[in-house]
Amino acid sequence: MTPSPWLLGKLRCPHGGGALRIDGDALVAADGRRYGFTGEGVPDLVAPADDPESRRVEEANECFHDAHADVYDRETVRADDGYAGVSSTLARLVAEHGRAREFLDAGCGSGVVLRRVKPLVPQVAGVDISRAMLARCLPFHGDLVRATVTRLPFGADAFDGVSGYSLLHHLRHPAEALREFHRVLRPGGFLYTDNDSSSAFHERFGWWLTIRRAAKQKRARTAQDEETERLAEFHHGTGLDADALLGDLLAAGFSRAEVVRRHPPRPDEFTKLLMALEAHEPSPSLRYYFQLIARK
């Protein structure tokens, strides 16, 4: 398998930014750096973080998601109707843009966004650090790259839209990815992230989250598994400060950005109680998840 002409034309060296050419079984940069392919033929353009701790988090994400890719959809991904909000948001953003032709799904996983954006945009690329997750996407999508979202192997102004679904809580420093998303977006392009949990909710209802996690079947089987999962789900235990991320988006250069706080698409009994409470006590801390929408 070789990259499609479109994808090959988009790819750039993640270390220097120059164009890449195919030379036998490798992609070669102008400075002579050579990059291989995964076993399934996906371009392998990972450029690890310089910081050792960030590199540990990247490696944990790779290891954890490779190990759980075969059960990920069954244990984590909802039925199609659970993603109606994702589909409608993508459709709205594409329609508002008016001329979106090229789209990047960063941290594509097993393809939640890929499946829903393909009918909307002619050319779509998916990026993930997990070989096994990328392999799950190959049966329905070929334009895939193994890379980190903090060093994307694309040039500046390369895409009309970028998504990061259920991504930011996996990153040690989400602001680094937000800066990369801004770099690869064209002027007027949009960013959509979703399914990250709010630190305000964690602070208020941490006791409930602890009970909920304890009741779920553990994915980690050994102490090493638990440490790998802890690093891979880096902000899972605390949530993310949505307002701070809003500031990071503006600092990265986005002209407009907003936070949309929301309840889960299929609320349990506790969430239904919070939804009723919200009618009398409107508060951001009552909403577990948030999405970010920004425009360059």
Residue 212 lies inside a defined structural domain of this protein: yes
- How many structural domains are present in the chain? 1
Kind and range of the H or E run holding 36: none
Q: Give the pLDDT score at 110.
A: 95
With respect to residue 17, please indicate whether it lies within any of the assigned structural domains: no
Contacts of 239 (CB under 8 A, 6+ apart): 169, 196, 197, 198, 199, 200, 201, 202, 203
pLDDT of residue 217: 67
Distance of alpha carbon 214 from alpha carbon 60, whole angstroms: 22
* 236 occurs within a structural domain: yes
Tell me the residue range of the domain where 121 lies.
43-295
Residue 194 lies in a domain: yes
Whole-model pTM above 0.75? Answer: yes
Cβ neighbours of residue 9 closer than 8 Å, sequence gap 6 or more:
none
The segments of the chain whose pLDDT lies below 50 read: none
Q: What is the pLDDT of residue 73?
A: 83
Which of 152, 181, 126 minimizes the C-alpha distance to 46?
Answer: 152
The DSSP code sequence of 59-95 is: HHHHHHHHHHHHHHHHHTPPPGGGGHHHHHHHHHHHH
Report phi then psi at 40, rounded to 5.
-90, 0
66: its two tokens: 């490779």
Q: Quick check: is 19 in a domain?
A: no
Classify residue 53: in a domain, yes or no. yes
In a domain, 38, yes or no: no
Q: pLDDT tens-digit profile of 245-271?
A: 999 999 999 999 999 999 998 899 999
Query: Rounded distance, CA 15 to CA 143, Å?
Result: 21
pLDDT at 1: 61
CATH label of the domain that carries residue 282: 3.40.50.150
| Residue 51 DSSP label | S
Q: CA-CA distance, 121 to 110, in Å (whole number)?
A: 19
